[in-house]
Chain A
Amino acid sequence: MPKQTKPILLYDGECGVCRSVAHWVEKSARSKSGEISLILIPNGDDPEALKLINPNLNIWDVYATNYLIMPDASMKAGGEAVAEVFRILPNTKWFAGCFAFSIFGYRPFQMMLNLGYAILDDVRPVFGCESCGTPSIWVRPFAATAKWLSSTFGPRRGTEVAPKLTSRKASPRRSSSKPDIIPK
Chain B
Amino acid sequence: MQISSASSDTIKTVTETTFRQLVLEGTGPIVVEFMSYGCGFCRAIEPILQQVAEKLHSKQKFFRVNTPVETELASAYAIEGTPTFVMFLDGAEMSRAEGPQPTLASITATVTRPFETRNRS
Contacts and interface: CB of A to CB of B under 8 A. Distances in A.
A172 B77 CA distance: 10
A72 interface: no
A46 B69 contact: yes
A179 B80 contact: no
B99 A180 contact: no
A61 B3 contact: yes
Contact of B38 (A131, A162, A165, A180): A131
B117 to A, nearest CB: 19
Contacts of A174: 75
B9 to A, nearest CB: 9
Given A163-B80, A163-B81, A131 B69 contact: no
A168 B81 contact: yes
A61 B2 contact: yes
Contact of A168 (B19, B36, B92): B36
B37 A60 contact: yes
A12 interface: yes
Interface string B67-94: 1110111111101111000000001110
What class of interface size applies to chain B in its complex with A? 35 or more
Given A163-B81, A167-B82, A173-B75, A45 B93 contact: no
Contact of A170 (B2, B41, B67, B91): B67
Interface string B22-45: 001000000000101111111110
B98 interface: yes
Interface string A61-102: 101110000000000000000000000000000000000000
Interface in A34-60: 43, 45-47, 58-60
A60 B92 contact: no
B66 to A, nearest CB: 6
Interface in A143-184: 162-175, 179-184
Contacts of A182: 76
A157 to B, nearest CB: 18
A134 interface: yes
Given A60-B6, A164-B81, 12 more contacts: A59-B37, A163-B98, A169-B81, A170-B34, A170-B68, A170-B74, A170-B79, A172-B71, A175-B72, A181-B72, A182-B76, A183-B76
27 contacts: A14-B38, A58-B5, A59-B37, A60-B3, A64-B1, A64-B2, A129-B40, A131-B40, A132-B40, A133-B40, A165-B41, A165-B81, A168-B36, A168-B39, A169-B81, A170-B36, A170-B67, A170-B74, A170-B75, A170-B81, A170-B82, A171-B71, A172-B74, A173-B75, A175-B75, A181-B72, A184-B93
